[in-house]
Amino acid sequence: MEPSDIQNIAHLARIDINASVAEETATSINDVLKLVDQLKSVDTEGVTPMAHPLDAIQRLRADEVSEHDVRDKFLGIAPETEDGLYLVPKVID
């Protein structure tokens, strides 16, 4: 992975990576990828991927109201709110 690839991935992850550390970040990520590349040599033909340690499936429940309204409590911890809504910079002109 090149420093320019890092910027692409950082964009996908919506993380600002300072250009001055891009090279260092690329080096350390390449070290991790080298470790991970050991997987390539393993024969996994026909092996079912394992998503859950107990192969459990999603547990469903009846669609019933179980929580009371905690809107104000949740809005209370937001960085910026207005009229009961989360405030972000203008998206559409």
Residue ranges binding another protein (CB under 8 A): 1, 6, 9-18, 25, 28-29, 31-40, 42, 44, 47-54, 56, 58-61, 70, 73-74, 76-80, 86, 88-91
CB of 68 to another protein, least distance (A): 12
Which residues have a Cβ under 8 Å from the Cβ of 5 and sit 6 or more positions away?
A: 26
Which residue(s) pair with 85 in the sheet? 82
CB of 75 to another protein, least distance (A): 9
Total residues found in the chain within this entry: 93
Which residues have a Cβ under 8 Å from the Cβ of 87 and sit 6 or more positions away?
A: 78, 80, 81
Amino acid identity, position 27: T
CB of 5 to another protein, least distance (A): 8
